[in-house]
Amino acid sequence: MSASSGYRGYQVMGENITQGKPDMHEAIDAYKEVEPGRYGDRAAPLEGSNLWPNHLPSFKVLFEEYIDHMKDLSRIILKGIALALGGSPNTFEGERAGDPFWGMRIIGYPECTDIRRIEMQDDGIGCGAHTDYGLLTLVNQDDDIAALQVRNRSGQWIWAAPIPGTFVCNIGDMLKVWSNGLYEPTLHRVINNSPRYRISIPFFFEPNFDAVVEPLDSCKEMTGGTAKFEPVVYGDHLAGKVLNNFAKYD
């Protein structure tokens, strides 16, 4: 993991920072590849190619096949959301998310032992509370370890306990803007209190890198007629977040 690979590749335990605190996980991070100069200065920090393990040639093939399935599934879910928001099913195609940016992480959370707790002097936070940055996240988590928590409307943290054969679907920041607040991004965090190493694979379906995200007309109509959010270019939002997570590389 380094700034020169556009923050792609392997990160050691504690390298990812959320709200100023190191997260207790290790991960392989991949993003849609961005050729130099493709989106001008705003994409420069995220330019780069993914890094694959040399000794596992099938890894890249399987990974890319999985990404294609995740993109197809995300598009189907977004068609439903678009209809619910009073728009055409293709609202998120074309210049909004027809050429979606994406990210995917393969994350490992260490097993929880008393010794580790003392050594790390941490409170067991595998990933600090945050919302995801884009449209939708599809989390594929280990079937038998409850570690992901989401905060409900009453402010309580509840377990998003795994249901075999399903994904947890989180709403991202950009869907809040496009829906003028009708969709609330899911605040979530990870605490692996189990005595076993946990693996989860979140896939992030994002807008086009250069999409200008602003409340949709149909959503403004449903929420009192005025825009509650300023327009934001998705790539700027993402670059700000990623640089913050890896502040030590600045």
Strands 26-31 and 9-11: antiparallel
Segment lying near Fe ion (by CB under 5 A), choices 127-135, 154-162, 190-198, 233-241 = 127-135
Question: Does residue 23 interact with Fe ion by CB under 5 A?
Answer: no
Q: Which residue, 206, 177, 176, 233, is CA-closest to 98?
A: 206
| Residue among 190 and 216 whose Cβ is closer to ligand AKG | 190
Torsion over CA: 198, 248, 237, 123 (sign): positive
First to last CA, the chain: 13
Q: How wide is the angle at C-alpha 96 spanned by C-alphas 95 and 97, nearest 5°? A: 105
Q: Which CB atom, from 26 or from 132, has the smaller least distance to Fe ion? A: 132
Task: For the CB of residue 124, give the shortest distance to Fe ion in the complex, in Å.
Answer: 17
Which residue number, 74 or 200, has a Cβ lying nearer to ligand AKG?
200
The residue length of the chain stands at 250
Query: Which ranges in 153-233 belong to alpha helices (H)?
Result: 173-178, 217-222
Residues that bind ligand AKG (CB under 6 A): 105, 107, 127, 132, 139, 141, 148, 188, 190, 200, 202
Nearest C-alpha neighbor of 241 from the set 132, 99, 138, 139: 132
Contacting Fe ion within 154-213 (CB under 5 A): none
Task: Give the nearest distance from C-beta 132 to Fe ion in angstroms.
Answer: 5
CA atoms within 13 A of residue 122's CA, in its CB half-sphere: 20
> Shortest distance, CB of residue 205 to ligand AKG, whole angstroms?
13
- To Fe ion, the closest distance from the beta carbon of 236 in angstroms equals 19
The DSSP secondary-structure symbol of 139 reads E
Q: How far is the CB of 190 from ligand AKG (least distance, A)?
A: 5
Among 23, 26, 29, 132, binds Fe ion (CB under 5 A): 132
**CB of residue 124 vs ligand AKG: minimum separation in angstroms?**
14
* Residue 87 or 108 with smaller CB distance to ligand AKG: 108
Determine the interface stretch with Fe ion among 54-62, 83-91, 128-136, 224-232 (rule: CB under 5 A).
128-136
Question: CA–CA separation, 66 vs 46, rounded Å?
Answer: 22
Instruction: Rank residues 1 and 127 by Cβ distance to Fe ion and give the closer one.
Output: 127
Helix-then-strand count for the chain, H and E:
5, 14
Task: Give whichever of 132 and 206 is closer to Fe ion, judged by the CB atom.
Answer: 132
